[in-house]
Amino acid sequence: MASLSLKNICKVYPNGFEAVKDFNLEIEDKEFIIFVGPSGCGKSTTLRMIAGLEEISSGELRIGDRLVNDVEPKDRDIAMVFQNYALYPHMTVYDNMAFGLKLRKVPKDEIDKMVKEAAKILDLEKLLDRKPKALSGGQRQRVAMGRAIVRNPKVFLMDEPLSNLDAKLRVQMRIEISKLHKNLGTTIIYVTHDQTEAMTLGTRIVVMKDGLVQQVDSPQNLYTKP
């Protein structure tokens, strides 16, 4: 069964701008899909429609076999990691990671278990009482991922999650994301400008331009064949 299905998805912004035109893609369980293309080609808009943060103008979006066009973000079984981390500055690492679960009324002892498990996976166990401003960029990015992981979502969406990190940390985090993908066995959709990230992480690459899908292929075919 497809993990995610996008059928004739279009986005027209209120000002009349067509940001995404007839996007079609079937994503299988455990795929690592990369969106690439020039700035403004519609990558973020597509990701935000999948997350439910942006209304779908027309077309059908399915997660599993469920049509989710009108389903609220928190009920979509999806988690999103942004490039600017989007952490709550006044909350500790623990509370940042627990926030989404509290919102869903998960019992306290269960939240505790889930947060501590995610902290272990991401090597955040010693940082749970800190506030975001007392963390390095890489640690903040790990907290952002932790917040997504605790929800154990079917699909992860990542919008240039490493673009604010320095080169060394980027390489480290790339390896960690790859491990996460293998260990958690989730489906990931990942936006990047970085060809190395696309090649090393992706199982399939979607090339977009001017709101259109131009090509969908494996990294091998896309980057190594003439």
Q: Which of 27, 31, 43, 97 binds ligand ADP (CB under 6 A)?
A: 43
Mind giving me the DSSP string for the chain? -EEEEEEEEEEE-TTS-EEEEEEEEEEETT-EEEEE-STTSSHHHHHHHHHTSS--SEEEEEETTEE-TTS-GGGSSEEEE-TT----TTS-HHHHHHHHHHHTT--HHHHHHHHHHHHHHTT-GGGTT--GGGS-HHHHHHHHHHHHHTT--SEEEEESTTTTS-HHHHHHHHHHHHHHHHHH--EEEEE-S-HHHHHHH-SEEEEEETTEEEEEE-HHHHHH--
Q: Which of 44, 141, 187, 192 binds ligand ADP (CB under 6 A)?
A: 44
Contact flags string 165-194 toward ligand ADP, x per CB under 6 A: ------------------------------
- Complex with ligand ADP: residue 122 or 157, whichever CB lies closer: 157
Residue list 5-34, contact with ligand ADP (CB under 6 A) = 13, 15, 17, 19
- Complex with ligand ADP: residue 39 or 224, whichever CB lies closer: 39
Q: Which of 25, 34, 41, 157 binds ligand ADP (CB under 6 A)?
A: 41
Contact 49, 56 (CB under 8 A): yes
Task: Pick the stretch among 39-47, 93-101, 148-156, 175-183 that binds ligand ADP (CB under 6 A).
Answer: 39-47
- Complex with ligand ADP: residue 19 or 87, whichever CB lies closer: 19
| Least distance in angstroms from the C-beta of 47 to ligand ADP | 8
| Least distance in angstroms from the C-beta of 87 to ligand ADP | 17
Q: Does 52 bind ligand ADP (CB under 6 A)?
A: no
Residues that bind ligand ADP (CB under 6 A): 13, 15, 17, 19, 37, 39-45
